[in-house]
Structure formats: C-alpha cells, structure tokens
Structure 1
Amino acid sequence: MPKHFATILVISFVLLVVCVFASLVLGSRMVGFDGVMDGLFHQDIDSYEANVVRKRISRTIFSLFCGAALGVSGALMQAVTRNPIADPSILGVNTGASLFVVCGMAFLHISNANQYIWLALVGAAITAALVFGIGSMGRSGATPIKLVLAGAATSAALSSLVVAIMIPRSHVMDQFRFWQVGSVGSGTWDGIFTFSPFLIAGIMIALLSAPALNALALGDDVATGLGVRTGIIRLIAALGAVLLCGAATALAGPIGFVGLLSTHVMRLLLGPDLRFVIPMSAISGAIILTISDIGGRLIGSPGELEVGVVTAFVGAPLLIILAMRSKVSSL
C-alpha cells in the first residue's frame, strides 16, 4: 500500500462531499441550508429553492459519474499506451465519438441519448484502434510522441469531417453545437440510469486489469515472463477505456483533460501502482469535473460557462508543462 494512502483517501472523500454540497448550493441562484434540506428530504415541499436543489441533484450525480468515467479512462489509456500524456481528448477518441454522433444526427435523425451512446462507443473504438495502429508503425513501435502525433492528426481529420457534415445541415448544426461544447447541465435521471451499466462495467474491467497492467509497465518481455498475455490485456483494458470514454462523451459531449488531470494528481500522490491509481482516479476525476461545473456556473452567472470550456482552460497549461518536462528529461 502506498505511503499515506489512508490519509489521501479520507481527504478525497471529504473533498467529494464538499463538492457535492457546493454543487447543490452554488449557481446563478444561491440556495440556503434549509432549501437544501427541503430538496433532499422533504418531497412534499414545493418551494422554488427545493425545486432548484432537486434539479441540481441529478446534475451533480451525472457530473460525478462522468468525472469518474473520464478519470479511469485516462488511467487505462496511459497504461495501455505507456504514454504519460494519453487522454481521450488528446488521442482523438472524443473526436471519433463526436463524428459518429453527428452522423447519427444528420443521416439517422436520432436525438435520444440511448441511441447516441452506441454510436459514440463505436466511434470511440474505431478511432482508438486507428490511432494506436498509426502510432505503432515503424521499427520503434508505439512511442508516446508517435501516439500523440497520430492522435492529433486523426483528431484534425475527423474534426474536418464533422464540420463538412454539419455545414450544409443547419438543423444538425443547431443540435450539435450545444452537445459539442461538453456540458453536464443536461444531466437527467434517465441519462444517469443509461450511463450506470457502462460505468460499472468499465470500472470493473479497469480494476481487474490493474495487476496485469502493472506488469505491462515493466515492458512486454518482463510481462510475458510473468505470465501476462500482453495483447489480450491491452485489448481488454482498451475496451474498458472505450466503454467509459464513449458513454461519457455520448451523454455529456467531448469533455477534455479530466483523465489527464486526475491520473497525474494521483500518480504524484500515490506512485505508479494502478491498483490504487485507478480507483483514486475515479474519485479525483469526479471532484475535478464537479469543481469545474461549479466554477462554470459562478463565472458565467447569471448564465453558465460550459464545463468543457473550464476543463480545457485548466488542462491545456498542464499539458504544456508536462510536454516541457518530458522534453527536458529526454535531453
């Protein structure tokens, strides 16, 4: 067990509880303690504040679920690719999911989250396989820099296709532009129930894969010597990452950098052991996304700033710092 793990776990849970309470209280309309209690425990009270809290409950749970999914997805992608800056948004997986969703809107006329989710999963899976295949070309195999370049190139190409499909279809553009920014504001109980099986399945795959992924971090030859089937474990872990990332993207839109932020924070605090990093990345991802959502509400008051904009604003400088540190260390 990593040093101070119990302390970090307790602090994380306290932060999580504080974030949940703040999400219920803060926004364009502040809610007092009595209003929170009425909204949570007194369903017979039909005051304005109680109704606001009830609306925020589903939004908060949805935010926690999406943050946990993106955090674990980032940890899995970093482990599978052995790339410290791997993230669904950086490797283009979010863009692949977006392309399939916009194709569904344009050609199949879908507008239901239950239909979005399957299209997003297929798009995320195909894009992940494509990026890994391109990044693996050549004698050196799938190096971190090649995977990032492959992800950037693939994301740019798919983004062009998304624009090409939307421009001649104004009704698709109107529908897609709100989804594309990335938001948890539309979180509903139906969306939460739709998302839950994918979240549970993805996290279970991640936790069961963690010991083998630890061995994989030592190198393919060492992992094979320890009895790990490297190809199969990469495929299984990638499946878990795609389930989590694709489902979150389908329901909330392409929210970037949460997986990168949450996993790096936990690696810094706990070390490289994925048996601890993965579950703690779920908690830290939930905290990061919920804090970003609260910040977006306060910054954009009386409206709100979408959470995808907030995470990009915070995550982009981190990516630059990580890239600079990586370059310095390589010299």
Structure 2
Amino acid sequence: MKEKGKIKLGISIGDLNGIGCEVALKTFLDPRMMDFCTPVIFASNKIISQQKNELGLNVGFNGVRDASQVIEGKINIVNVWKEVPKIEFGKATEEGGKYAIKSLRAAVQALKTDKIDVLVTAPINKNNIQAEDFKFPGHTDFLAQELHGESLMFMVADSLRVGLLTDHIAVKDVAEAITPKLIRDKVATMVNSLKMDFGIRKPKIALLGINPHSGDNGTIGEEDDKILKPAVQELFNKGILVYGPYSADSFFGSNTHENFDAVLAAYHDQGLIPFKTLSFGKGVNYTAGLSKVRTSPDHGTAYEIAGKGEADESSFKEAVFAAIQVLRNREEYIKLNKNPLQKQKTKKAS
C-alpha cells in the first residue's frame, strides 16, 4: 500500500478554451494539497505558462518529458506536445478538441503503465473531440475501452451516489436499450464498486423506473412491469439488495434516497438533474468498474466564464480527494481479502 502523500495523481487538461486548466491550477495553489498527492498534468510547459499568466495565477511547476520523472512536492507538467496551440477562451474549436484528446491519451497511457496511480479528467467538449481516431461520446466510453471492465457512470457526493443504466444516448432510445442483462451488469458493477471503492459491506440499491410513475401498472408503458420488475426480483432472490422500480418524480424530493447506499437511474437526466440540484459544486463523476481509478468534476467546460478567472475549483478539488480515497479503499479491500485473519480482526474491532 502506498504511503500517504505518495500518490501520483494524473490530470488530463481538457478543452484548452474552457475552465479545465484554471480549476486544476487553482486546486493546487494551496500547498497543503501536496500532502495528499503529487499532481501530474499532461499538457506542455508553454501552454500552462500561458494560461497561468492569462488568469493571473501565481503558481510554479516542474516540467518533465515523462511521468516517471515527476518530483514530489511540486506541480509536474508532462510535456505531451512542443507547439503552442491557439487559445480562444469560450470557443469550441477543432484545435481545442485536438489537444484535449492528446492530453487524455497521454494520461491514460501513463495510467495503464503505472506511471501515475489515479486520473482526474478536466472537462471536454463532446463535439469538438470527434475525429477519425476518436469516435466516443465522452470520457467514459473511451476509458471503458482502454481500461477494461463494465463501466458505470457514478455520480458521488458524500453519501449521495447516483449511477446510470444508460448515459449518453438519446431519450427516444432509452427504453429499447434497457434489457435484463444490462440491469444485471450495471447492478453488479455498482455492488462491486460500493464494496471495494466505498467500503460498504452489504450495499442497498434503489432502481428508478423508466416511465412516469413506473408505468402505473402498464397504463403509461409496459417496460417497468415487463423488464425492470422481473430483473429486480431475480437479483433480490440471489441475495442482492436491490429494490424498485421507484417512481422518479418524488424519489429525491421525499428523501427516499437516504434509505439507500446508491441509486440506479434509468437515463442521464433522470439521475443527474436531482444529483446536481442537491450537490452542485461538491459532486464528482466517478467511472466505476474499471481496472484503474478515474474521477472528474461534475461540470462542463463552462465556456461562458472561461478565461475570466471566475471558475470555482471546488468540484475539481472534490474529484482529487475522491480519486485518492477510492484508491485507498481499493488497496484496503484487496489487503483484507488477501488476509482473512486481518479481515476477521477488523470485523471484531468494528
């Protein structure tokens, strides 16, 4: 297990015309953050100097060619490119997308080869990242391919945890995409993550319905009765504590979510609207189910304030802390499960 403060935390810089660089640098303006990790930003010395000067941020850094050369106690910049891209704050440009992907690919490669321990991704624009060699709707799908596993988009803020059955697909395609197998796979990924990444021994999960009022016994669609309910019953019969489907409209407003360790929403906005309403600025997007740990802030590129120095780094900082904590929890979980005697002692102590 790594000693405290030794974790190498990689950062992909996101869209250069957004607020990614700003929130990343602001996070590590506080020197106390170096007690928790060693930041490794994948970009270039020139672009970081340009951004910090533009934003008036008094921060020093150490430039390296490779992530294996980083120095603890400093902000490290891995020079992924030598040229100086044109910065146009607030604009979605082809160049902005191109360098966002260059940074992401370099960071993921370092993660795969253990040169960094965890990854925090700054926001990208899902439109300008599209290219011949990158046809993914966002980070999650790309990371699922590169880091192997059944990925789950998992929004986390303290005890509020919301996962998605479907994420970046059109609403008209949601019902058809949800199958018994998808439900089984996503629930399994969520359960494993809650145990391994969050230290919850017997997770309790709520599943939200697809249709209004979970279909009202078939009056407003049959998917909830024919797909969700049988899947929930099958999983429950196997000893997995999953309940539902619950009507989504009143679930969060009535604080029913507080009775569960996590909530599995049917589609993107069904889960993210209440999540961001309850936790905006504190929430973290965690990709569960992968071989490595990746988090990101719960906001986008925020073009409307990019370059103005107004961006709030709170969510990015939470993403840093979440990545560190999940890694610690995973290490502890592996240690306990490799050593049953230690596990038994821990249970008695609790």
TM band (smaller chain): under 0.3
Q: TM-score, normalised by structure 1?
A: 0.27
Which one has more relative contact order, counting CA pairs under 8 Å at least 6 apart? 1
Higher helix share: 1
Q: TM-score, normalised by structure 2?
A: 0.26
Q: Which has the larger radius of gyration?
A: 2
